[in-house]
């Protein structure tokens, strides 16, 4: 559930930043967006997703190399 709130948080901040006209408020929103994304990267779920993506990429490269041989 906390992960879901984090996802919702950064998406909401990104949406607000995309339409913000005031430069001071935009700076504040972007700072908060960066903080939120940094926190998201620290979560075990996000780290596992990155590991899975790396593993899948390696598998695809290996498969492509075998096919070209």
Tens of pLDDT, residues 6-54: 566 889 999 999 999 999 999 999 999 999 988 888 877 766 666 666 7
- Residue 20 gets which letter from DSSP? -
Alpha helices in the chain (DSSP H): 2-19, 23-41, 44-68
13: containing domain = 2-68
CA angle 53, 36, 55 (to 5 degrees): 10
pTM of the model: 0.57
Which residue would you say has higher pLDDT here, 68 or 30?
Answer: 30
* 3-state SS assignment for residue 12: helix
Query: What total of structural domains would you count in the chain?
Result: 1
pLDDT band at 69 (very low <50, low <70, confident <90, very high): low
């Amino acid at each position: 559930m906390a992960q879901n709130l984090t996802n919702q948080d950064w998406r909401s901040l990104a949406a607000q930043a995309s339409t913000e006209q005031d430069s001071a408020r935009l700076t504040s929103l972007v700072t908060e967006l960066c903080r939120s994304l940094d926190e998201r990267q620290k979560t075990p779920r996000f780290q596992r997703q990155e590991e899975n993506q790396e593993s899948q990429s390696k598998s695809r490269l290996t498969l492509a190399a075998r096919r070209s041989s």
